[in-house]
Amino acid sequence: MASCPVTGKNSNALASLMSDNPRYAEMFAVEKEGANSGVDPARDYTEDMNRLREAGAVHRGTLRALLGVPEMSHMLGPERENITFFSYRACEIGFRENLLYSSEGYNESAGVRTIGPTILSMVGKPHKRLRSAAQPLFKRPTVLDWWNKRWIEETVDALLDRLLDEQAVDLNTELCARLPMATVTRAIGLEGEDVIEFRYQLTRATFGAARLPPEEAAASRAIVDKTLRDLIAENTRNPGDNLIAGLIAAEITDEDSGAKRSLTEDEIFGYCKLAIFAGGGTTWRQLGITIDALMNHYHFWEACREDRKLLDLAVEESLRWRATDPVFPRLCTADTEMDGVPIAAGTRVHLCLGAANHDPAVFERPEEYDIFRKKEHHMGFGFGPHRCLGMDVARQEMIVAINGLMDRFPGMTRDPDKPKPEFRGLDHRGMSAVPVRLK
């Protein structure tokens, strides 16, 4: 890979994006994702999920058990009865009725517990209060102005300008993995090689901890905690133009008493860790899925290239067609039923949005990638009170990245000299590679 010098005021900050740091290959390969342990790497499970949905809206068992894939007990938590929702209607109710199908079940996951208190595992008023404190930092106008101008556009320019002399590349490693990782990690105030190292240590400290000796996981947690504590202390003394400074300035308002308070250090910790995981992992895989879809449906690439407003549709359709995270867990809090199937309190419920997004009761020709299809609400970002807080950041990263590709490489095509990329994974789905010919 030829490397281009990075110019401008943030050249040092962006230098790490240009490196061939081996951490990239270790962190950003779908088949190496811990959540995909035990999954057949050459198999796309979409048809299997669809067959289960057609056989019934609700099935007893986890998605993995129903597909014959080995369970990851450390991710599930204590033994419970499991049931999976597959239809659009069932999943919509599961997402919306968050007091009945509670997100508190996330607290049983060892990986989530290590992140600390976050909106991911809260319900009701506590969830609403904590989410509302950070919501202004992630609203669409703020994303279009602050996030775009502060981090996204600059990072895309740096990544793509270094490819100007290249003929063919794998965009999975050269763009898709680097962009969201750099955006969200730089947003908390890290720059240079610290961007890569922090993401690596955070993975080892949380969802990768089960595969490490305890002392190694503990060492990574210590590095992560010290890094964040130092950043919080620095931004408390001298507020920067970044996410941590925004969280320090945010207030939680009690809707009953009207009392206000600042976020605790643990709550700021949790937001930063969650933002890096949710933003760095899902957007990496979804951007690759979207680019691959446009390369394999080239008339849509050409249509978007001529009318860039269509890129919004291309991204939304990719989120419906191949959502990177196809199943979300919930914990049933009271005896109930779904589609005639009784569900006891204490049952772990799995919402298979991967199947719901292909439900023919809602989507015509659901197996086709069609950016001009009739607009219906997809579940790629979840649904209801827990819909992804950072969804507009993710959308803009993908739109700005593809815009940048079209500006520089309008005739870009899939590389015919490379093996056809495969759609891989189950819990965390993505492309095996995104090989393209730029010119």
Provide the β-strand partners of residue 436. Answer: 169, 414
Query: Quick one: residue 152, left, alpha or beta (phi over 0 = left, psi -120 to 50 = alpha)?
Result: alpha
Asked if residue 7 is part of any domain, the answer here is no
Asked if residue 238 is part of any domain, the answer here is yes
Does residue 266 have a pLDDT over 60?
yes
Number of domains present in the structure of the chain: 1
The domain that holds 228 is classified in CATH as 1.10.630.10
Q: What sign results for the dihedral spanned by CA atoms 207, 429, 128, 244?
A: positive
| DSSP per-residue codes, 340-366 | TEEE-TT-EEEE-HHHHTT-TTTSSST
| Distance in angstroms (rounded) separating the CA atoms of residues 194 and 196 | 5
| Distance in angstroms (rounded) separating the CA atoms of residues 201 and 218 | 10
**Vertex 183 angle, CA 109 and 390, to 5°:** 55
Q: Among residues 235, 281, 346, 339, which one has the least CA distance to residue 111?
A: 281
CA distances (Å), origin 407, targets 29, 164, 273:
27, 11, 33
What are the backbone dihedrals phi and psi of residue 291, each rounded to the nearest 5 degrees, phi first? -65, -45
Asked if residue 304 is part of any domain, the answer here is yes
Asked if residue 210 is part of any domain, the answer here is yes
Asked if residue 27 is part of any domain, the answer here is no
Q: For 6-52, write each residue's pLDDT tens digit.
A: 334 454 556 666 667 777 777 777 766 666 677 887 788 999 999 99
Q: For 148-188, write each residue's pLDDT tens digit.
A: 999 999 999 999 999 999 999 999 989 999 999 889 988 99
Provide the β-strand partners of residue 204. Answer: none
Asked if residue 26 is part of any domain, the answer here is no
What range does the domain containing 286 cover? 39-437
Q: What is the pLDDT of residue 423?
A: 92
Look up residue 213 and give its two tokens. Answer: 């000796």
Asked if residue 81 is part of any domain, the answer here is yes
What are the backbone dihedrals phi and psi of residue 256, each rounded to the nearest 5 degrees, phi first? -85, -50
Asked if residue 34 is part of any domain, the answer here is no
